[in-house]
Amino acid sequence: MEKLSNIEIEKIIKELKENGKYKEYQDMIHDDYEEHQVVYKLDTDEIIALAYKNNTIPFKMQEYYDWHEMNLLVEEELD
């Protein structure tokens, strides 16, 4: 998945806010963190826009996971 320009991100986010899907994607990202401790390298809007454009969900976009941060969270939990 290629990175999007800021203009593309803004356009997609505007469309998602208009059709009510933005909150749905935000909730998915929140659940990813709460349930699976997934941390993304990109900001929320960019992850949402990429997922929507590529017809997928954020959780399936493993190439955008911040594995270092996720490992730190797991280590904290184990201590």
pLDDT category, 12, cuts 50, 70, 90?
very high
- The residue whose two tokens read 């490992």 is 71
User: Where residue 13 falls among pLDDT bands split at 50, 70, 90?
Assistant: very high
Give the model's confidence band at 75: pLDDT under 50 very low, under 70 low, under 90 confident, else very high: confident
Question: pLDDT tens for residues 26-67?
Answer: 999 999 999 999 999 999 999 999 999 999 999 999 999 999
* pTM greater than 0.85 (yes/no): yes
Q: How buried is residue 67: exposed, middle or buried, by Cβ count under 10 Å (0-12/13-18/19+)?
A: exposed
The CA distance from 30 to 4, in Å, is 22
With 0-12 / 13-18 / 19 or more C-beta atoms within 10 angstroms meaning exposed / middle / buried, residue 38 is buried
Distance CA 61, CA 55 (A): 11
